[in-house]
Structure 1
Amino acid sequence: MNASTPADAHARYALNPMYLFRWEETQDAHVLLYPEGIVKLNRTAGEIIGLCDGQETVASIITTLQQRYPGNDQRVAESIRTSLEVFRAKGWIRRQA
């Protein structure tokens, strides 16, 4: 993978400003709100996006979630990288300079 992909360990991502990330009690889930609607996130997606604050690197996000979910570190890391790629492709997150 090249340096522009989310799998770059030093990359930093933040929520696209057109989305609002929050816990929605009525949905019992984290959601992304945007002018045209709402995206209900599963627990994993909510945890990953919650760590995309523009400060955390991909490596630190992976480390944090590996600590929360001990076991198969490689599987957790691959799942996070794949999720970040999907979130970026959907426009939910942006790479920070």
Structure 2
Amino acid sequence: MNAQSSPEDALPALTRPTLSKRFRLQWEPAQNAHVLLYPEGMVQLNPSAAQILLRCDGTREMNALIADLERAFDTAGIGPEVRAFVSHAQERGWLE
């Protein structure tokens, strides 16, 4: 992304993010949180990150994923934050 790019530019509405095959998303009772497991370790997720990644199953386009989150949490206008997180997750290799 260049200095004038936004998360919306980086993630077209038709993008269908999916969890990378190198990672497994699961609830970890010992951590009392969702985690991403991978051969070298584990990433503990905050509740917002977990809810986004749980919906990154390759079946939802970005706009549908955002709409689903907004319905589930009775909120609006979270698109930029969701897109920024998904972009970050892609950069980290968590999503394809």
> Which range, TM-score by smaller chain?
0.7 to 0.9
Tell me the percent identity: 31
C-alpha distance in structure 2 between counterparts of 1:24 and 1:14, whole Å? 20
1:78 is aligned, of 71, 74, 80, to 80
TM-score, normalized by length of structure 2? 0.87
- State the match for 1:48 in structure 2: 52
Query: Match for 2:90: what amino acid?
Result: R
Structure 1 gap ranges (5+): none
- State the match for 1:69 in structure 2: 73
- The size of the alignment, in residue pairs, is 91
- State the match for 1:35 in structure 2: 39
Q: Deviations over 1:31-86 (max 9, x none)?
A: 00001000000000000000000111101110001112224x22x11110111011
Say what the alpha-carbon RMSD is for the aligned residues.
1.8
TM-score, normalized by length of structure 1? 0.86
The structure richer in strand per residue is 1
Structure 2 gap ranges (5+): 1-5
After superposing on structure 2, the runs of 4+ consecutive aligned residues of structure 1 that deviate more than 3 Å are 1-4
